[in-house]
Structure 1
Amino acid sequence: MAASDFGATVLVEPLRRKLALNAPGVRLDFVNLADFTGGIAQILLRHDVFVCPRGLGLGGVFEHCPLFSDRLVCVVDQDNPRLRDGRLDFAALEDLPHAVLAFRSGVTTMIDRLMEENGVQRRVSLTATGFLPLVLAVAGSDAVTVLPERLARRFTADPRLAIADLPFPTGEMQECAWWAPARAADAGHRWFLNQLGDLARELDVDPIGRVATG
């Protein structure tokens, strides 16, 4: 199962519990998306399941099922002077240095697209192949990073960090499990997809406890 560290952070613990209950003899291997240099199609052909958001051009070629919904937020140092009433304005988003996700495979992320669609000219000061280093990079600095809220909320216990809304609508980000159609003939693969479907019904609650809609 290939996923970013964000996908793995959300899925590993509940999926491990579900498999331990329903199939204790099954071994689950998570492969970090950061390790890949090829395109998304190659990842899907080499692994049973690939976890990534809708909107990356996979529809019509590969099959998928929704896992959970999220939205994008900013994370900054609690003492960042540009943080006002829990928000960063557009000027701040352009003025502050950005810690940015950049996969080796060259995949354009949902964050890249959102920034481009809203005309944000980012000053990139740091790049990383995973989300987790980005959070650590902004603590004690004037930098900002944009992350899925489920991941950002895991760091709210750190008093140095604050979550801020973006200065424009972000829409809903839907993380899905994708697979090559040829794998559907495998009974074990179909069973695993059923487990993911059951898990999705448990996960589709947003970070502040409201049932997601749509």
Structure 2
Amino acid sequence: MIPAIHRPYGDGVTGPTLRNLDLNLLPTLDALLRERNVTRAAERLGLSQPAVSAALGRLRRHFGDELLHRTGNQYELTTLAQQLRAPIELALAGVHRVFDASPLFEAATSERTFRLMMSDYATAVFGERVVRRFAEIAPHVRLALRQAEPEFVDNAAENLRTVDGVVLPHGFLTDIPFTDLFDDTWVCVVSRDNDRVGDELTMADVAALPWVVMWDLPTAFAPAARQLSMLGIEPRVEVTADSFLALPFLVAGTQRITVLQARLAHRLAPTAGVRLLPCPWDAVPVKEGFWWHPSHRRDPAHEWLRRTLEELGRELAEDPPPPL
């Protein structure tokens, strides 16, 4: 439980807005903003619905705002509630970091939760090694893995306060501490029955065939595909997606083409019914790193996390994908 607090204003008088404020309302508010439903929030918190309803009443009185308002058969967030989502996540992360702090970290007995952001690609090729190693040497440690989204990367300097770090390729973040993990290469992916492509892919094919791409945003794109613009080729994009794992399945049975990281492509090709071909240009390699907020620098648990991820990255680097 988080204790109730009183905080005096500068004149020494207890502020009316914080008098008897119970910080246990923070996780309740977070659940309500996420679920937008009292019943689901109660289930998320493991509390009774009346208890969460009562907490919502206290929160409404504190903020002087409805927070959740009914629209038809569902609840929507008020403007203030929408503004509170990011600060609440940041506040909870700070509270957890305070109470997780320890002068020592014993992996074998720790029950700490590490919150990591990574793409579905990184989860598939690197995350599996992480969960296996944690099961071996830190069996009580919990992992919370979340999809790294463009909105997170856009404001990474602040958002990294809410998690232990993000696995992301070089080229998106600057002036943020990082630990290098592993490299990968890009391959081109076409349908197994695509008769417009022979045994080799040409730049003429790249220019003529329709494309499936992974997003196409300033902080969300496949560098190998973006690189084509610098070579004077503007891919004819027919489909955009927000999942690397989906790309080969969106290519299968069509004339389309895409690029995919080699480690992932080799896993998915047999199931998706696609062929893998070398890129006919010098595609920039993938260099994955683990990026983290400077406030974690001297945290013994986070130091252990960084060392473990770096070790796993080296092991993955020693196991390259098969040649095409």
TM-score (ref. length: structure 2): 0.59
Which among 153, 160, 170 is matched to residue 44 of structure 1? 160
Corresponding residue of 1:165: 278
Of 16-25 and 198-207, more deviation after overlay is shown by 198-207
Deviation at 1:185, TM superposition (A): 2.1
Partner SS for 2:271: coil
CA distance in 1, matches of 2:123, 2:272: 24
Could you list the runs of 5+ residues in structure 1 that have no partner in the other structure? 210-214
Structure holding more helix per residue: 2
Matched, 1:69 2:177: no
Could you list the runs of 5+ residues in structure 2 that have no partner in the other structure? 1-115
CA distance in 2, matches of 1:102, 1:39: 14
Change (3 A) 1:27 1:35: farther
Corresponding residue of 1:130: 243
Matched, 1:184 2:287: no
Partner SS for 1:193: helix
Q: CA RMSD in A?
A: 2.1
Corresponding residue of 1:30: 145
Check conservation: 1:76, 1:142, Cα contact below 8 A: yes
Check conservation: 2:225, 2:259, Cα contact below 8 A: no
The percent of aligned pairs where both chains have the same amino acid is: 33
CA distance in 2, matches of 1:168, 1:35: 27
Deviation at 1:159, TM superposition (A): 7.1
Corresponding residue of 2:171: 55
**After superposition, where does 1:145-164 map in structure 2 within 5 Å?**
145-158=258-271, 160-164=273-277
TM-score (ref. length: structure 1): 0.87
CA distance in 2, matches of 1:37, 1:29: 16
Change (3 A) 1:65 1:37: closer
CA distance in 2, matches of 1:171, 1:103: 17
Deviation at 1:155, TM superposition (A): 1.7
* 1:50 maps to amino acid: V
Deviation at 1:198, TM superposition (A): 1.4
Corresponding residue of 2:192: 78
Q: How many residues align?
A: 206
Change (3 A) 1:31 1:103: farther
Change (3 A) 1:11 1:40: farther
Bigger RCO of structures 1 and 2 (CA < 8 A, at least 6 apart): 1
Matched, 1:9 2:124: yes
CA distance in 2, matches of 1:68, 1:109: 17
